């Protein structure tokens, strides 16, 4: 359902000032591969990463799959993305540190501006910070490590004590054959986090990874692998940002989440990429009996996004909740959504999303609910609401439902509308400017996401909304 191009008087909203997010750091990388994608480049990347032999071969096999697959034709155009001009690996001029004081000052200044160390000191059980293609800092609180929780970088996990566990789970949920950019990820992945929460362990405060892409014309391909065993619980947060350049940047990460019997995982992310970014990320979870996966997603940046977190409810009584907000501004076409596959009886899912568009931005939400014949007693509900702030913008909702049993309760609700002039007038009559009134309305519209985030991340999201609304003139 699209409502744009109306005959009424057009309105315009100025582009935003992204403040600290767009500060560019001087390029001081220690090493980078040549732009492009060839077997020689993949081999060199594997050598730089000190891969075990199975991973070297995995990369090369993934590259072959990449070359065989076509770019998806149904999503937003990505014709501006040319892999011949993308650098797949940029190593910063530092080794990973466990002490913040040892991180080089220029990199440290970047993360200080973004509030990462402050967040760690206040409310996080552990933090990983990635700069371009490598983690530059990683630390976990002693009391969390004492519970047997493993939180480390993927490269260390690949060759350390948990190497066999990584090998048995790596790209099993998202195989390279899944789509072209999954294959690309399998070939050139670098960085990311490995988390393992043992049986019965509850991590009371969140873990966080933050990804910063500084290099122009580069890609970031981090891999996140989280295993939460039976009866355990975890809240994991990912944040990401990049400055704006006049060349295309690419983010094609991969997230794989394994949620055990009676376990619970909340995965929250605030994506604040710049508007020259192609965000082609793949996220997927599998949930065992009576387990729960909760997705909390805020997507504000990128030129084009393909982002559809998928949940496979494998065990009886498994649950999924997805809460998301998307903000598409000038020059943005954000194609996002969520998918759930009900594979077992008495499973349940709930999607609740908000899409906002302005200044000619296009926001598309795709929902997919699949119920197999074995999934009797399934309950699923999808609610998506879209708000357009001017007559230049567009919004689409595209639901898909594949239900193979009569014993299921499935619901879908979609609403697309414009910001209320009456609500703006009322707030202005109470002393707000028009800009403040509209920002207040939009913040309220997105409240279902912000209230699900820890305080400082809710504040960051609301700050991003205010930045997006800056200069709004109706």
Distance CA 199, CA 196 (A): 10
**Residue 20: which pLDDT band, with cuts at 50, 70 and 90?**
very low
- Residue 119: pLDDT band with limits 50, 70, 90: low
Confidence band for 111, pLDDT divided at 50, 70 and 90: low
Give CA–CA dist 242/21, Å, rounded. 6
Check whether 472 has a pLDDT greater than 80.
no
46-69: average pLDDT: 96
The rounded distance, in Å, linking the Cα atoms of 116 and 210 is: 8
Those residues whose C-beta lies under 8 Å from the C-beta of residue 280, and which sit 6 or more positions away, are: 78, 181, 250, 251, 252, 305, 306
Break the chain into its structural domains and give their ranges: 19-328, 421-474
Query: Which ranges of 115-179 does DSSP label H, i.e. alpha helix?
Result: 116-123, 142-145, 154-159, 163-169
- Of 30-34, 179-183, 202-206, 447-451, the range with the highest mean pLDDT is 179-183
Confidence of residue 138 (pLDDT cuts 50, 70, 90): low
Among 324, 189, 194, CA closest to 250: 189
Structure tokens at 129: 């910070």
Over residues 394-416, the pLDDT tens digits come to: 888 899 999 999 999 999 988 87
Contact indicator for 375, 341 with CB cutoff of 8 Å: no
Kindly state the average pLDDT of the residues 19-45. Answer: 72
Nearest-angstrom CA–CA distance, 239 and 233:
20
When the pLDDT of each residue in the chain is averaged and rounded to a whole number, the result is 83
First to last CA, the chain: 23
Q: Output 449 or 147, whichever has higher pLDDT.
A: 147
Q: What is the mean pLDDT of residues 331-341?
A: 92
């Amino acid at each position: 359902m699209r409502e744009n191009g109306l005959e009424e008087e057009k309105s315009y909203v100025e582009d935003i000032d992204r403040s600290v997010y767009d500060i560019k750091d001087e390029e001081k990388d220690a090493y980078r591969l040549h732009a492009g994608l060839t077997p020689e480049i993949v081999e060199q990347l594997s050598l730089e990463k000190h891969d075990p032999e199975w991973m070297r071969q995995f990369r090369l096999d993934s590259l072959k799959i990449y070359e065989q697959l076509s770019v998806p034709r149904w999503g937003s155009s990505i014709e501006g993305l040319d892999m011949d001009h993308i650098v797949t690996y940029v190593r910063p001029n530092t080794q990973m540190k466990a002490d913040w004081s040892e991180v080089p000052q220029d990199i440290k200044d970047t993360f200080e501006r973004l509030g990462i160390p402050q967040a760690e000191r206040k409310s996080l059980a552990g933090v990983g910070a990635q700069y371009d293609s490598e983690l530059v800092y990683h630390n976990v609180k002693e009391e969390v490590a004492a519970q047997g929780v493993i939180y480390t970088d993927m490269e260390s996990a690949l060759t350390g004590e948990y190497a066999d566990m990584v090998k048995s789970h790596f790209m099993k949920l998202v195989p390279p054959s899944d789509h072209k950019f999954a294959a690309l990820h399998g070939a050139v992945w670098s960085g990311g986090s490995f988390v393992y929460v043992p049986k019965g362990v509850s991590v009371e405060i969140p873990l966080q990874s933050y990804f910063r892409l500084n290099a122009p014309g580069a890609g970031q391909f981090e891999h996140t692998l989280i295993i939460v065993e039976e009866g355990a619980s975890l809240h994991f947060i990912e944040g990401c940002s990049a400055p704006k350049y006049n060349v295309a940047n690419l983010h094609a990460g991969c997230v794989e989440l394994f949620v055990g019997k009676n376990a619970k995982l909340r995965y929250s992310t605030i994506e604040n990429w710049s508007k020259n970014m192609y965000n082609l990320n793949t996220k997927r979870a599998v949930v065992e009996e009576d387990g729960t996966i909760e997705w909390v997603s805020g997507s504000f940046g990128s030129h084009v996004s393909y982002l559809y977190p998928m949940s496979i409810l494998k065990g009886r009584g498994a649950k999924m909740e997805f809460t998301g907000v998307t903000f598409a501004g000038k020059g943005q076409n954000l194609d996002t959504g969520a998918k759930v596959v009900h594979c077992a009886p008495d499973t349940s899912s709930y999607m609740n999303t908000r899409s906002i568009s302005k200044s000619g931005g296009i926001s598309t939400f795709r929902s997919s609910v699949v119920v197999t014949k074995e999934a009797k007693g399934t309950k699923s509900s999808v609610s998506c609401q879209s708000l357009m702030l001017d007559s230049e913008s567009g919004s689409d909702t595209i639901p898909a439902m594949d239900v193979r049993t009569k014993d299921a309760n499935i619901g879908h609700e979609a609403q697309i509308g414009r910001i209320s002039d009456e609500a703006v007038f009322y707030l202005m009559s109470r002393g707000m400017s028009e800009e403040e009134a509209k920002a207040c309305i939009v913040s309220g519209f997105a409240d279902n996401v912000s209230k699900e985030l820890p305080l400082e991340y809710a504040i960051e999201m609301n700050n991003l909304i205010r930045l997006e609304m800056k200069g709004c003139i109706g």
